[in-house]
Each structure stands twice: as C-alpha cells, then as structure tokens.
Amino acid sequence: MALTSMPASRGRGARARRLTARQTALLDDIVGLYLLEGFAHLTLDELAGRLHCSKSTLYALAASKEQLAVAAIVHFFRRAADRVEQRIAGVTDARGRIGSYLTAVAEELAAASPEFYRDLASFAPGREVYERNTRIAADRIRSFVVDGVHAGAFREVHASFVAEAAAATMVGIQRGEITRHTGLTTAQAYAELATLVLDGVSS
C-alpha cells in the first residue's frame, strides 16, 4: 500500500460526521493497536477493555467491528498521507521529489506490523482502501515523472509505465514478497525503488 494525499472516504457504512477531539484521539489509539498486532482477532469487547472505554463509545465511531476497522484503516492512511505530503511540500527538484516521496512513504508504512498487513490482505473493505491508495500513489509518481520530463530533468519516458511498475513494486513490498525474496527491509526496498525509478528516468 502506498500513501498519497488522497481524499480517502471513511468507507461504506462508517460514520461520515466530523469526529470530536476525544474521538479522534481514541481512533489514533485504535490505529496504534491495529498496527502493532493486527485487527481480525480483536472483538469490540476486547478493544473496549484494552482502550479503557465503553462499547458505546466505540459504537459512536462505527456501528460494527468491521466498520470500525474500515474507519481506522482510512484514518491511518489519511494521517500518513498528510505527513508524506508535508515532507515533500518544499521539495522542488524533480529527482528530490521522487526520492523524498518514496522515503517518506517507507517511514510511514514501517509502523505497521506483518500481522496488520496480513489482516488487511484478507479483509476486502480494507484491501479496497489499500488498493485505492496504491493507485493514487502511482498517479503521484506519474505526475512527478511528467513534471521532470517537462523540466528537462528526465529523459522522455512512458510515465504511466513507470508509475505502474512502481505501484506493482509497492504492493509487493507491503505484502512482504520483496522482503521474502530479497531480504530487504521495507525502508531498504523503498530506497532501492527510488534508485530504480530515478536511474530509469534520468537523462
């Protein structure tokens, strides 16, 4: 999964109203727990106990365990995306933008455990959020490449192909396939991806 400044919806069935500061803090805590150990095994009773809140407080966030998981997943990717965009906001160099973007994505996604990604892969609504984010991230990479070509920093390349190749690699990284096949950590894999993309488009 990758990150970008996507206008991620809260998912079908999730509460669309604006959260209070207390609810946002609680959702942050839920995300932290999910990232650490996954979410499929956690019941609402267990969540309430571990977060020291009532089930009614959780129901105020979402109407079911599944909808709460969607809300938390969207919250995670939205917050991470915002931080990624803040990291690259002041980077104007074409090469630097791609490198900074992929490095920031790696750092944000490094917080998630293999258990979280395992549960995400087997949970269709969450997987949909993940895939949507990856698609938008690919669009960001494509826009960076196009801008670099127009600025003369990159050679003429098929920007959509570069974006698709990057997106496929990002999916492989987050599924753990790249680590299994290469032994690279998530951060190392993203660094290699940045090098691959930049070497491929450089004049």
Q: Is 157 exposed, middle or buried (0-12, 13-18, 19+ CB in 10 A)?
A: middle
Rg (CA), the chain: 18
Q: Output the pTM of the full model.
A: 0.81
Collect the ranges in the chain with pLDDT lower than 70: 1-17
The span from the CA of 78 to the CA of 133, in Å, is: 9
pLDDT at 28: 96
Q: What is the pLDDT of residue 18?
A: 83
pLDDT of residue 83: 94
What's the confidence (pLDDT) of residue 11? 42
Residue ranges of domains in the chain: 21-201
Task: Tell me which residue has tokens 């998530």.
Answer: 186
pLDDT of residue 17: 61
Question: According to the model, what pLDDT value does residue 119 have?
Answer: 93
Domain 21-201 listed as CATH 3.30.565.10: no
Q: How far apart are CA 112 and CA 176, in angstroms?
A: 12
